[in-house]
Amino acid sequence: MNSDADHDVCGMSLAIDVVGGKWKLHLMWVLGAGPQRFGQIRRMLDGVSEKVLTENLRQLEAAGVVHREIYPEIPPRVEYSLTTLGDTLRLALEPLEAWGDTHRAALAANTRPSAPVATAVGL
């Protein structure tokens, strides 16, 4: 739904609308490694509930950055992956990850991590 008001919103606000919240950036990070099934994502994001994960995946899908593929198998298999738009967002987030890596010690001294995520997957 486009309106004249949409043109007045800055790009940062639009981006934050897509990835804002506790889990969406983490989801982008996990899906940056390639297609993942729901259970795999949930295991990688320690502490996320099934309900919250489902809501966040649906919101990212509605924004056009995540694709949900249902395979016609018994039982049905569902995989989530980044769309082309989502991949461009992942690339835009890489400097944020680099900043966090560079300032890890200073940030650890001042804050606690809000959501532990597996370290084997990167953007």
Residues 52-59: contacts with CB under 8 Å, at least 24 apart: 52/23, 53/23, 53/27, 56/21, 56/23, 56/24, 56/27, 57/27, 59/24
Distance CA 52, CA 96 (A): 24
What mean pLDDT comes out for the span 24-37?
95
Q: Minimal CA–CA distance to 82: which of 123, 21, 23, 22?
A: 123
- CATH number for the domain running over 4-110: 1.10.10.10
pLDDT value for 107: 87
Q: Where are the domains of the chain?
A: 4-110
Rounded mean pLDDT of the chain? 87
pLDDT digits (tens, 9 = 90+) for 14-25: 988 999 989 999
In the chain, the percentage of residues whose pLDDT exceeds 90 is: 62
DSSP state of 65: S
Average pLDDT over residues 31-47: 95
pLDDT higher than 90, residue 112: no
pTM recorded for the entire structure: 0.78
